[in-house]
Chain A
Amino acid sequence: MTPAPTSSPERGFSRRLIALAAIVVLLFGGYYLLWAPHRESLVVYCAHDSIFADSILREFERETGISVAVRYDTEATKSLGLVELLLQEKAHPRCDVFWNNELLGTLQLAGEGRLLSYRGSGYERIPAAFKDMDGRWAGFAARLRLWIVNTNRLAPTEAAVQQATSGDLDRMVIAKPLYGTTRTQYTILWKLWGRDKLLAWGADRRARHLREVDGNSMVKDLVSTGVCDLGWTDTDDFFEAQDDRKPVAMLPVRLENGKTICIPNTVAIIRGTQHLAEAQKLVDFLLSEKCEISLAAAKSRQIPLGPVDAARLPDDVKQLQRWANDGVPLGELDVANAECLAWLKSEYQ
């Protein structure tokens, strides 16, 4: 007689899945024990590009022995991103230090009371124009807003740019001003001109078919490949194209008063941090001469804001430094930031 089956294939498979689930849980446990950040790790939210920031933070780890766990902003999350996350986490903060790659988000957090005051050795070496007088944030390693020009299509002179932007703007491209440094540029214009003039200016540009894309790197790609003739971008994106031997040249974006737009990285300690001493060490490290020189020597060519040994700077950066000296003051942008952002949201969302 044939014996009755002891288990059905269906049941046997489910049992194996349960066993597999147990193995996966064990593996997660192993991963956590070996690599996941410990409770003592300093949590850093970093909006600066990971390929540049990572080496700086690893250097800090090596120097101080303090373990750092980083959450980077991604293109995928934009700034659902870090500023919004920090605001959402207000009641239960897990971030200790916020390394922002621009200023406005940091100003917003300061305005919301999310930042702690700290005036350490790094803070002292940064010029007053690039730090909060109450010590809630400090700027370092800046970028400049630039005209990027395709030299096969246009001469890289102010006159040629003027000529190219006087009529139809079909061949000019900028990033959507809702995010990033283009938003900073619009906010500065809001403060200088006031609401009505900026709105009229924006409407006029759109009527003349100005192209808007999602980010500065896209602006760089479009101009460097000749799809567009010129656009606004940042120094780091420009140098990427130049290093790729694309036919591009740069000119600083100048406001009506002749000032340039120099946008620093900013660093701040988040209120509610459980690792205050470690956070202060990282802030001092980021604001140090050594860090600024490292960022200046990187492919992004960030401009040092504090005093540095000029002999250690690349030639490109020396030129940028001269333009940055004409930078428009970025203090007191809080009101313009809120108003301009409200307008931009109504326009772009």
Chain B
Amino acid sequence: MTLLRSLIVGVLAVAVAQLVRTLLADRRRAVRRIAWILLLAPYFTPILLTGYAYANFSLSLIHHPILNPILYSALLWWKFTPIAAVILHFTPAPISAEAIHCRRLVSSAGSAQRGVAATVSKFGHWAFLIRAGCAAGPVAAFAVVFLFAFAEFEMASLMVVKSWTVALFDSHAGGLALGESLRRMPGPLLCEAAAIATAFVVLGRRQVIPTQRIEGRPASRWFAWCHLVFAFVFVLAIPAAMVLWGTVRGFGLLMENFVLSREILASLLFAAGASVLAGLAAFWPGAAARGRSIGSMFCKAILIAAVFAGLLGSLVLSLTVLAAVQLPGLILLRNTPVPLVFTLGLVLLPMALVLRRVLELTARRSALHLTTLMQKSRAVRELTWKLSTSGKFRVMVLLFVWAFWDLTASSILAPIGMTPVTVRLYNLMHYGQIAALSAMTCAAFAAPIFVFLLALGTRRWWAPP
């Protein structure tokens, strides 16, 4: 069931992403900006918020067992289409649309002369496009969306949808040993490994990113806009409105008894630790892994192993780490933040590497090189920030926010006395949607935003002298 759902979500996401891409590469800056905001906002919406908002509604669909999985699939589609769109945007076809058109004209003229049927000619055209590497972007986008949809756990659990991740979790809840559970799951793990390998192979070969402007047909542009608006409304706006409405009513209660301060602080610390770990691994050994020396090869091997582990998803990884810290050699780490920070760092690493790759591909190298040749000054520092460091800073912020909103690893691995805020909120969400809880959720939302603003104040420190 999960496999079929993930395949469908993957195909639909790539199909829509092809249309959305035209908006992202529009000639008008304002259009591009709105499209990017509408595209990325649902993706960065914490899954806990969306799941919380729809948990009651999905429960009310108990007499319509088909509708709930459809709603869940639609939410997955809206939430993960941005990944496909971003991949397609940054990995366009290596040959231009004009070149493809010219080839089509030449080959159709040739086919007409030779009397070959049009269908054969069309097949040849597709084969040519695939050979030329035009399918690489969509294949990679499909593989990554499939992987995310396939490994999703939190929303499936909140919306009571059947999924292999929930089944794995339940089998553990019933006391099944990790080894036995994993032995029951060779199929899912094989699917994940295949998707990971596909994405690696295809994305690893991409070298350039031409920033082309694309013109789409009006109908497809309208469809793309509709998709973006629906995604924004259903994944972010409705859940946020529900929480904000509750916040207005529960604000007084929250002020009377603000009980989440320690949990928010713990979450901020875990998120900081995990994002720094993932950032370090992506930007430091990530850079060292290039080249052919023994050291580089070693770095590469470690990174590949770490990325593979991270792509298994936080559920499988957390359960494995939980089993590992029961071993005599690692038992000292059991009640420390190390297992959780390490696990979150691994989970974030693949995305950190992808984002680093995007930064590399979009970097204006010659301009950056020129700044390194210039005399040190405040203006040069500002320029370096704009050309290079600001992108990395944004990557770190994203990693931080992702880590902050993790639920699965936090609920399994947080040490006693350091309960992250997501675990506490999720526990309270068990009692339904109440005003005070919505206010607490809102406060938890504000925390990483506050940290982001604080960090933005230190921007000069991030740009090297």
A interface residues, Cβ below 8 angstroms from B: 2-3, 5, 7-18, 20-21, 24-25, 27-28, 31, 35-37, 41, 43, 49-51, 69-72, 74-81, 83-84, 87-89, 91-92, 94, 170, 173, 178-179, 211, 213-215, 217-218, 221-222, 225, 227-228, 240, 345, 348-349
Residues of A contacting B174 with CB < 8 Å?
178, 345, 348-349
The answer on a CB contact under 8 Å between B411 and A14 is no
Number of interface residues of B (CB under 8 A): 68
The answer on a CB contact under 8 Å between A27 and B423 is no
Residues of A contacting B175 with CB < 8 Å?
83-84, 87
Residues of B contacting A49 with CB < 8 Å?
430-431
Residues of B409-442 at the interface with A, using a CB-CB cut-off of 8 Å, are 411-412, 415-419, 423-424, 426-432
Is B375 an interface residue, CB under 8 A from the partner?
yes
Q: Complex: how many Å from CA A77 to CA B319?
A: 11
The answer on a CB contact under 8 Å between B59 and A24 is no
The answer on a CB contact under 8 Å between B272 and A27 is yes
Q: Known contacts being A9-B389, A13-B464, A36-B417, is A227 close to B283, with CB within 8 Å?
A: no
Q: Complex: how many Å from CA A222 to CA B60?
A: 7
Residues of A contacting B265 with CB < 8 Å?
31, 35
What 1/0 flags go to B451-465 for Cβ under 8 Å of A?
000000000011111
Q: Lowest 6 A-B CB distances belong to which pairs?
A: A12-B464, A5-B372, A37-B417, A76-B411, A78-B173, A9-B388
Is B284 an interface residue, CB under 8 A from the partner?
yes
Is B287 an interface residue, CB under 8 A from the partner?
yes
Residues of B contacting A349 with CB < 8 Å?
167, 170-171, 174, 176
Q: Complex: how many Å from CA A8 to CA B428?
A: 48
Q: Complex: how many Å from CA A15 to CA B463?
A: 11
Closest to A228 in B: B62
Q: Complex: how many Å from CA A35 to CA B264?
A: 13
Given A75-B429, A218-B160, A227-B60, 7 additional A-B pairs, CB 8 A: A9-B389, A50-B424, A179-B173, A221-B59, A222-B60, A227-B62, A228-B62
What 1/0 flags go to B368-397 for Cβ under 8 Å of A?
100011110000000010011100100010
The answer on a CB contact under 8 Å between A14 and B280 is yes
- Whole-angstrom distance between the Cβ of B109 and the nearest chain A Cβ: 50
Q: Complex: how many Å from CA A91 to CA B329?
A: 13
Q: Known contacts being A80-B412, A88-B326, is A9 close to B464, with CB within 8 Å?
A: yes
Can you report 9 residue pairs joining A to B where beta carbons are below 8 Å apart?
A8-B464, A9-B388, A10-B287, A17-B283, A69-B416, A76-B426, A84-B172, A84-B175, A349-B174
Is B331 an interface residue, CB under 8 A from the partner?
yes
- For A28, A170, A222, A345, the residue with the greatest tally of chain B CB atoms inside 10 Å of its CB is A28
Q: Known contacts being A3-B375, A31-B418, A71-B416, is A14 close to B389, with CB within 8 Å?
A: no
The answer on a CB contact under 8 Å between B384 and A214 is no
Q: Complex: how many Å from CA A10 to CA B374?
A: 16
The answer on a CB contact under 8 Å between B384 and A14 is no
Q: Known contacts being A74-B427, A76-B411, A84-B175, is A170 close to B63, with CB within 8 Å?
A: yes
- Whole-angstrom distance between the Cβ of B72 and the nearest chain A Cβ: 15
The answer on a CB contact under 8 Å between A51 and B428 is yes
- For A78, A81, A211, A348, the residue with the greatest tally of chain B CB atoms inside 10 Å of its CB is A78
Residues of A contacting B8 with CB < 8 Å?
none
Q: Known contacts being A5-B372, A13-B389, A221-B59, is A20 close to B276, with CB within 8 Å?
A: yes
- Whole-angstrom distance between the Cβ of A143 and the nearest chain B Cβ: 15
Q: Complex: how many Å from CA A43 to CA B335?
A: 11
- Whole-angstrom distance between the Cβ of B333 and the nearest chain A Cβ: 12
The residue that A225 contacts in the complex, of B60, B167, B412, B419, with Cβ under 8 A, is B60
Is B408 an interface residue, CB under 8 A from the partner?
yes
Q: Complex: how many Å from CA A91 to CA B429?
A: 34
The residue that B59 contacts in the complex, of A71, A89, A94, A213, with Cβ under 8 A, is A213
The residue that A28 contacts in the complex, of B337, B416, B417, with Cβ under 8 A, is B337
- Whole-angstrom distance between the Cβ of B344 and the nearest chain A Cβ: 12
Residues of B contacting A69 with CB < 8 Å?
416-417
Q: Complex: how many Å from CA A225 to CA B62?
A: 12
Is B273 an interface residue, CB under 8 A from the partner?
yes
Is B262 an interface residue, CB under 8 A from the partner?
yes
- Whole-angstrom distance between the Cβ of A78 and the nearest chain B Cβ: 4
The answer on a CB contact under 8 Å between A211 and B416 is no
Q: Complex: how many Å from CA A178 to CA B266?
A: 33
- Whole-angstrom distance between the Cβ of B260 and the nearest chain A Cβ: 12
Q: Complex: how many Å from CA A29 to CA B170?
A: 35
The answer on a CB contact under 8 Å between A24 and B273 is yes
Q: Complex: how many Å from CA A52 to CA B336?
A: 27
Q: Complex: how many Å from CA A27 to CA B384?
A: 29
What 1/0 flags go to B317-332 for Cβ under 8 Å of A?
0000000001000010
Q: Complex: how many Å from CA A194 to CA B196?
A: 50
